[in-house]
Amino acid sequence: MTASLVIEGVQAGSGAMQVLWGVDMQVDPGQTVLLLGANSAGKSTLLRTLIGLLPCTGGRIMLDDERIDKMRPDQRIKRGIAFMSELGVFPTLSIDENIALGGYFMPQAKIRQRREVLFELFPALAEKRRAAAASLSGGQRKMLGIAKVLISEPRLLLMDEPSSGLAPVFVKNVIDALRTAIGDGTSLLIAEQNIAFLDLADRGYLLDHGKVRVSGTRQELEASDAVRETYFGL
């Protein structure tokens, strides 16, 4: 079952510095939502607040009508939230070990079953399953990061800058992989600077200095003057 996420008036920051100023946002069951914004807009802070790595100092976060903003990260994970950060994988661990780590709370038999399913989705990883993640290309590491978070069959997947450090051709590969791997069972919130990810989205938000500047469907964001100004200088 997919998850519904509602963010109401969320405030958060790092140390004494406040970064988010009353953010309102929603991810409906099965939706892919894109969170756009420049560097320092607050995208990573929001995702880290949603998973519980940073405290929510104001407002509330609801997952399927249950308030989760006071829960520990492990409690949120057990409710079906997964988080893919920019780092994504552990370079010294093998591909097998990285994927298994994503299923930390799962029985071993289930991990083995899900890993084989993911290797069918990502055959390039299957060919190197016992190799260290450090031996992979940048694009392959992103694929491994996706496989690592998908092993647990999350109901809500949070992704922080999946295109970071990638050449345009690999960005397309990541988008294609997400289209293939994300089924109807997962809601998705992607924080990105790369506007190419708008092709994946049902709707999106433009975050600017910790506040939502624009929200709407993919088509509405594509037509937005604020988005055009931010990304194209128009």
Sign of CA dihedral 33, 36, 42, 45: positive
Q: How many whole angstroms separate alpha carbon 99 and alpha carbon 114?
A: 9
Q: How many whole angstroms separate alpha carbon 57 and alpha carbon 59?
A: 7
What local confidence, expressed as pLDDT, does residue 183 receive? 67
> What's the whole-model pTM score?
0.90
What local confidence, expressed as pLDDT, does residue 184 receive? 62
Cα Rg of the chain (Å, integer): 17
Bridge-partner residues for 81, per DSSP?
A: 156
In terms of DSSP bridges, do strands 58-63 and 32-36 run parallel, antiparallel, or are they unpaired? unpaired
pLDDT beneath 70: ranges in the chain: 1, 86-87, 183-184, 232-234
Q: Contact 145/190 with Cβ under 8 angstroms?
A: no
Strand order in the sheet with 32-36: 81-84, 156-160, 187-192, 32-36, 203-208, 211-217
What local confidence, expressed as pLDDT, does residue 1 receive? 66
What local confidence, expressed as pLDDT, does residue 47 receive? 97
Q: Coil, strand or helix: which one is 211?
A: strand
